[in-house]
Amino acid sequence: MSDESRVVTALDERSDALVALAAELIRFNTTTRGEPDEPARDEAALQEALAERLRGAGAEVELWEPRPGELDRWRRQVPAGLGFAGRPQLVARFGGGGEGRSLLLNGHVDVVSAEPRERWASDPFEPVIRDGRLYGRGACDMKGGVATMVAAALALAECGIELEGELIVSTVTDEEWNGAGALALAARGIAADAGIVPEATGFEPWIACRGVLNPTVTVAGRPGHAEMPQPDWREGGAVNAIEKTTIMLDAVRTLRERWQAADGEHPLLAPGELVPTVIQGGEWWVNYPASCTTTVDVTYLPQQGDADGGWGARLEREIESWILERTREDPWLAEHPPSFEWGTNLAPAEISAEHPIVECALAAGREVGRPGKVAALQGWHDAATFTRFGTPTISYGPAGLSNEGETMAHAVDEFVPVDDLVACAQALAVAALRWCGVASEP
């Protein structure tokens, strides 16, 4: 029996253990709320549990917490005040005694909030299997994927297969809102000849993703009593910041329409978008609001990024210029222009569809009965960070972010099909065998 057949069979026979591992990970509450100073939850306990398993399989394991300020040079991506206390990163290394190619398998262990919990059919942190699906917060995004890559590495070790190239298994925190964990790994020099992140791609290798900008736009008004007649603002009258914000929102909408008209600029990615997502204004219900702030989620194509590192500084200037020019038509806003605060910035990335790791993943999927095609993520993922730091990385994993019309990731009653977990672990093991090669007998 070939090495590939042995490991595929082993994972099929150990499918219960794989599902149990995914369920164990779901039970750890590793919720992130996108707050720089939020306390750690169960991240350390989860990482220690994985470290114990990987050490037991013969891996050299490193667990560490990045030091405060260690990522300050990448302030474009990591918000001020973010710390890693209680949220360690994990790297486990297998084999690599020969001249084979190295492979990085990476996954994030943080999950989004499970609220509103009362809408779940069962406790989101007490996983259950119903109708062939594993339910729980993170089952799809992406503790199921983490379980598949760990199971693949363990199966290779348990089958006594020594890889020619090094296999690196890593798990990180803080992906869901800024990707700081993967950035910490890349900044530490963790790299390989190629990488795979088993996000929920539906067995399609994602080779590209859009970048993300996060501006907050503030429109000033002038407070006054809402129940009292007001003179013209030039004579000291009140100005409604919420009403003036609608002019700014029109500018956002027209720029979005302009970007959307450029459809087809990328073979796999949709045009960039600007979507207002949070708005806050007003101080008292009988006052003219003194200010109104709007947060906008901006996604942009790789070719819209800067030449130096892909950051969207040029695009930020374009957005500001567009909004200022169009709001200037209003006399009040011409004298009191909107102000801008730029938050999280996640640079886009892509690798060639012809890169060998892409065909390796596709071929491995075909081998286990899960054929796929090259695709891309319209949002952002950690694969972009590793790619930008020199490890060409794709995302490739079990059932996708939606399943026949059902939302899976970030949803109430989040789930992943059990059969997909097994097939993904098998595909990752086959990909590792083919990419890294098998060490010859001495």
Domain stops at, among 316, 346, 376: 346
CB 178 within 8 A of CB 108: no
Contact between residue 282 and residue 242 where contact means Cβ atoms under 8 Å apart: yes
Task: Dihedral sign for Cα 302, 306, 308, 309, please.
Answer: negative
Do 356 and 338 share a structural domain? no
Tell me the C-alpha distance between 314 and 15, whole Å: 49
Q: Tell me, what's the pLDDT at 136?
A: 97
- Separation of alpha carbons 169 and 103, rounded Å: 9
119's tokens: 């809408």
Give the separation between CA 1 and CA 22, rounded to whole angstroms.
29
Q: Give pLDDT, residue 309.
A: 65
**C-alpha–C-alpha distance, residues 394 and 354, integer Å:** 12
In a domain, 412, yes or no: yes
Does 33 map to a domain?
A: yes
Q: Does 142 lie in the same domain as 261?
A: no
Residue 422 lies in a domain: yes
Residues 364 and 269 occupy one common structural domain: no
pLDDT band at 74 (very low <50, low <70, confident <90, very high): confident
Q: Measured on CA atoms in the order 79, 81, 86, 90, is the torsion positive or negative? A: positive
Last residue of a domain, which of 346, 375, 401?
346
- The reply to whether 175 belongs to the active site is yes
Would 427 be classed as within a structural domain?
yes
Which H or E run includes 211? Answer: strand 211-220
74 and 200 both lie in a single domain: yes
pLDDT digits (tens, 9 = 90+) for 249-288: 999 999 999 999 987 789 999 999 999 999 999 999 999 9
Which range has the worst mean pLDDT, 67-76, 142-151, 154-163, 371-380? 67-76
- Inform me whether the pLDDT recorded for 222 exceeds 80: yes
Give the single-character DSSP code of 139. I
CA Rg value for the chain: 24
Query: CATH number for the domain including 222?
Result: 3.30.70.360
Catalytic residue among 164, 175, 413, 414: 175
- What is the rounded distance in angstroms from the CA atom of residue 167 to the CA atom of residue 187? 19
Backbone angles phi, psi at 15, to 5 degrees: -60, -35
Q: What is the mean pLDDT of residues 45-56?
A: 98
Sign of CA pseudo-dihedral 416, 420, 424, 426: positive
159 burial class (0-12, 13-18, 19+ CB within 10 angstroms)? middle
Choice between 290 and 78, residue whose per-residue pLDDT is larger: 290
Q: Which of 43, 110, 199, 414 is catalytic?
A: 110
- pLDDT for position 161: 93
Provide the pLDDT for residue 307.
67
Q: Are residues 171 and 259 in the same domain?
A: no
| CA distances to 221, 223, 284, 292, 336 from 237, in Å | 10, 9, 17, 18, 14
Into how many domains does the chain fold? 2
Residue 441 lies in a domain: no
In this predicted model, what pLDDT tens digit does every residue of 391-402 receive, in sequence order? 999 999 998 775
- Report whether the peptide linkage leading into residue 331 is cis, meaning its omega lies within 30 degrees of zero: no
My answer on whether omega of the bond before 442 falls inside 30° of 0, hence cis, is no
Q: What's the confidence (pLDDT) of residue 373?
A: 95
CA triplet 18, 23, 26: central angle to 5 degrees?
130
Tell me whether residue 442 is in a domain: no
Q: Tens digit of pLDDT for each residue in 404-439?
A: 556 688 899 999 999 999 999 999 999 999 999 998
442 pLDDT tier (thresholds 50, 70, 90) = very low
Question: Residues 380-385: what's their mean pLDDT?
Answer: 95
Say yes or no to pLDDT of 75 above 50: yes
Per-residue pLDDT, averaged over 110-123, amounts to 95
Higher pLDDT, 237 or 80: 237
Which residues share a beta bridge with 135? Answer: 128, 415
Contact at 8 Å (CB) between 203 and 372? yes
Residue type, 400: G
Average pLDDT on 23-42 reads: 92
- How far does Cα 222 stand from its chain's mean position? 40
Choose one of 346, 377, 405: the last residue of a domain.
346
Report yes or no on 376 lying in a domain: yes
Q: Are residues 151 and 121 in the same domain?
A: yes
Nearest to 382 by CA among 407, 349, 354, 355: 349
Using alpha carbons only, what angle is made at residue 376 by residues 373 and 379, rounded to the nearest 5 degrees?
155
Task: Please check the confidence at residue 202 and state whether its pLDDT lies above 90.
Answer: yes
- Over pLDDT 70: what percentage of the chain? 97
The model's pTM: 0.92
Residues 302-351: pLDDT tens digits?
A: 988 876 666 788 899 999 999 999 999 999 999 999 999 998 889 999 99
> What pLDDT does 127 receive?
97
**Same domain, residue pair 428 and 354:** yes
Does 239 or 409 have the greater pLDDT score?
A: 239
Range with the lowest mean pLDDT among 41-55, 210-224, 255-269?
255-269
Confidence of residue 36 (pLDDT cuts 50, 70, 90): confident
Structural domain including 327 reads 211-346
Query: How does the average pLDDT of the chain come out, rounded?
Result: 94
> Percentage of residues in the chain with pLDDT exceeding 90?
85
**Could you confirm whether 174 is annotated as catalytic?**
no
- Token pair of 269 as six digits: 């990615």
Question: Based on the domain organization, do 148 and 267 belong to the same domain?
Answer: no
